[in-house]
Structure 1
């Protein structure tokens, strides 16, 4: 007589194909890497997820015309979860400047909606190249180091609206939470690094939510090969990667206190440079 465990594994083997198991394992590995990197460096999100999803979706049979859109939409959906977790952590330490978050948010949302419309009209190959160029730019920025904070300047509504629209538009086109742009923008205005990172984490949520909704809407009538999609969001990837990344991120945050952050930034910048060149020229 078979035990309950034997029956469970027997049914699982019949219901889960080798292809599904491979897909599941790939998403677990990606979630571990994205979560650990995000916790370690305060980055990772879309910069890791988008290129990885493009390669995985093409491997699973999706066309290159659709894979980048699907990767960006899925990445933004995952960032809705990770940004909440990150913002909560920064709030506990009192680093989130909520007036700055609120003054940036309207421009960010408008920019994201503009970016979604633009991204929907661009071929997948162009989106891939744009992401590669952005990754190379961030790699150079990380390698050279952060700018020294100047005297803190109060953000005007006009400047916040313009900056928010630019950051939101680029975030939606590339599929990131915007932290890699919000942080240097605030530091350039004289905010301390802890405050800038905390505000970037909090603004990642409205960017990701509005972007994910936009890509779901824009992809509702798209011809997508993969099943289990809702617009340009692939739900199996969203569920697995978001859960694993959220579980692993605290480990990366703990390791950040043990390793040299400057060396880690140099290593990650080289990784981004290689990734960007691969996206541009492959």
Structure 2
């Protein structure tokens, strides 16, 4: 990553240090994690964005999640195809980077969506695992897709990271007659997504609906603070003056509750599967 990185939006947060720490303490405590205020970087210009999410831990630790999987994908490409020498960026994050209008990719953080490039001449290609209608990153398989195929077809397992050394098995999904499948809509997932209310977060919305045709549920609470615009209506029309941080309330957390997860094999036994975007595309 870039040494001595400085963002362009750190001073636009419309919250005091005390308010910021309060949001993080609430979210960490309700996720049963120990909160340490010294782990929050007080220099907001060193915070790193990922669309509406922010990394501000101190000290910042660079991870290597799924690097081994993506390395295998590129090595396989070179082994099976004739590929010329080339340079490009491979984006491991679950949100694209290059907008069609060349403006800043993280609109929740930047007032007025400031322009970053005049054009894309000379910009190296950017390959991302997630797409968006406003972005022009080139698509590549997700690490999850590649890991599934590598395991099911070749028995290859990947560590999620060097430190964790966790490996994931992907069970074969058996063929099943349609008429024997459960006649319901199934969804399982964590409480990710930009919205923090039932009306603004589709995952929370569907899990609040009482209907016998649904078998839906939140499997874990992701309460990472989300950035949201702060609007001023003083002296003229409403305008965005910065952003704040908020998270899902304890009332919503208590009203929805949690359900046991279902793996892909179990979900395949239902006739209908909901894929609801969270922080990014669902995969």
Normalised-by-shorter TM-score class: under 0.3
**Scaled by the length of structure 2, what TM-score is found?**
0.25
**Higher RCO by CA contacts (8 Å cutoff, separation 6 or greater):** 1
Greater share of residues in helix: 1
**Scaled by the length of structure 1, what TM-score is found?**
0.25
Q: Which has the larger radius of gyration?
A: 2
